[in-house]
């Protein structure tokens, strides 16, 4: 069912028929604490949006009326992390659901948002790893 992981290509993991677990091609999260300036921050958000759209389209996630979207982050390094900062990464990923045609809009009527989850570190990773779980609710 799955394909070998290549940057920008979805890696499908065994999920129920109405749920998709997608590996996103990012190693480090965006942060609400970044002080790079508007254009640098916008460029980072744009990169997350475009890559997430490519992954959703490659996975063939169909149009849904309502979904639950969960972003998972597995860091390479063991240090304290603030899950609030992952909201900066979560927003462009949810926006990608609309751009990719999975949803009509990203309001609460269409998306059941789950706070981003930080999983235990994994020293075997070259960088961090992100997954997006999309579950059809209606």
**What is the rounded distance in angstroms from the CA atom of residue 122 to the CA atom of residue 23?**
15
CB 95, CB 114: distance < 8 Å: no
Enter the pTM of the model.
Answer: 0.82
Closest listed residue to residue 35, CA positions, set 88, 78, 80: 88
Model confidence over 1-60: pLDDT tens digits? 333 344 444 445 556 778 999 999 998 888 776 666 666 678 889 999 999 999 999 999
From residue 84, alpha-carbon distances to 68, 115, 116 in Å are: 18, 8, 8
The class (CATH top level) of 19-136 is: alpha beta
Q: Report strand pairing: 67-74 vs 111-113.
A: parallel
Q: Where are the domains of the chain?
A: 19-136
pLDDT digits (tens, 9 = 90+) for 60-78: 999 999 999 999 998 887 7
Tally of CB atoms within 10 A around 54? 18
């Amino acid at each position: 069912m799955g394909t070998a992981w290549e940057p920008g290509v979805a890696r499908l993991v065994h999920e129920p028929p109405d749920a998709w677990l997608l590996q996103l091609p990012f190693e480090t999260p965006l942060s609400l604490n970044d002080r790079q300036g508007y254009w640098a921050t916008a460029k980072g958000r744009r990169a997350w949006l475009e890559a997430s759209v490519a992954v959703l389209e490659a996975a063939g996630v169909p149009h849904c009326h309502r979904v639950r979207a969960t972003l998972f982050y597995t860091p390479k390094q063991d240090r304290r992390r603030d899950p609030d900062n992952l909201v900066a990464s979560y927003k462009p990923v949810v926006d990608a659901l609309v751009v990719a045609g999975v949803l009509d809009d990203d309001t609460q009527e269409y998306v059941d948002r789950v706070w981003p989850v930080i999983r235990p570190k994994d020293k075997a990773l070259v960088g961090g790893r992100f997954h997006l779980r999309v579950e059809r609710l209606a």
